[in-house]
Structure 1
Amino acid sequence: MKLDENTIGQAVKIYKALGEPTRIKIIKILYTLEELSCNEIEDKACICAKSTLSHHMKQLADCGLIELRKDGIYHYYRLNKEILRAFVSLEWD
């Protein structure tokens, strides 16, 4: 990967997003499952407030780690494993 200004900026966003334990937990959950709704993520991550989950999901989406698919009123999230692997070298299994 070429380390230019855009890549550096993206890296900073990713590392800031992963600087919160709940967001790492969400990434780990999404790593093992193909796609989840907000409610499913909320249950699996044990997050009580929807506003808290929304904040975490926005941080992860803004840096490109997760992708959103809308189906009517439902939102489904999927991990962008390519971005994760490019910037993070951890064992997720």
Structure 2
Amino acid sequence: MTAEEAERTAKMFKALGDPVRLRLFSAVASHQGGEACVCDISDVGVSQPTVSHHLKKLREAGLLSSERRGTWVYYRVEPSVLAAMGQILTKAATA
């Protein structure tokens, strides 16, 4: 793993190190159709502004992308992110 890959990977896993962020990421990843409206994933035990804060952190880490449609924001996990995470974890398991 190069230094650049390690930096990018650490940023992703750091973002997922928070239990609320991990729940939000899981909710988006498992949502029907591969994307979720923020209105569908806000029930994680924190206030709506806190949900928005955590979703922003997941976006900044490159784990989620978002699109505004009217008053709602829709989030999706980029397929390349899941593939990259799977590849990293597979390499770690075989090392």
Short-chain TM bin: 0.7 to 0.9
Q: Report the Cα offset of residue 24 of structure 1.
A: 1.2
Contact 2:66 2:73 in 1 (8 A): yes
The CA distance in 2 between the partners of 1:60 and 1:18, in whole Å, is 8
Per-residue Cα deviation, 1:55-74 (whole angstroms, up to 9, x for no partner)? 11011101111010111222
- Residue 85 of structure 1 is matched in structure 2 by 83
The CA distance in 2 between the partners of 1:65 and 1:84, in whole Å, is 8
The CA distance in 2 between the partners of 1:41 and 1:26, in whole Å, is 7
Please list, as runs of the form range in 1=range in 2, the aligned pairs for 1:2-81 lying within 5 A after superposition.
Answer: 3-33=1-31, 34-43=34-43, 46-81=44-79
Structure with max Cα Rg? 2
How many residues of Structure 1 are paired with residues of Structure 2 in the alignment?
Answer: 86
Superposition TM-score, scaled by structure 1 size: 0.77
Q: Report the Cα offset of residue 22 of structure 1.
A: 1.3
For residue 42 of structure 1, give the secondary structure of its aligned residue in structure 2.
Answer: coil
Measured on the aligned residues, the alpha-carbon RMSD in Å equals 1.9
Larger helix fraction of residues: 2
Superposition TM-score, scaled by structure 2 size: 0.76
Q: Report the Cα offset of residue 86 of structure 1.
A: 0.7
Q: Between the two structures, name the one with larger relative contact order (CA 8 Å, sep ≥ 6).
A: 1
The CA distance in 2 between the partners of 1:42 and 1:57, in whole Å, is 10
Which amino acid is the alignment partner of residue 85 of structure 1? A
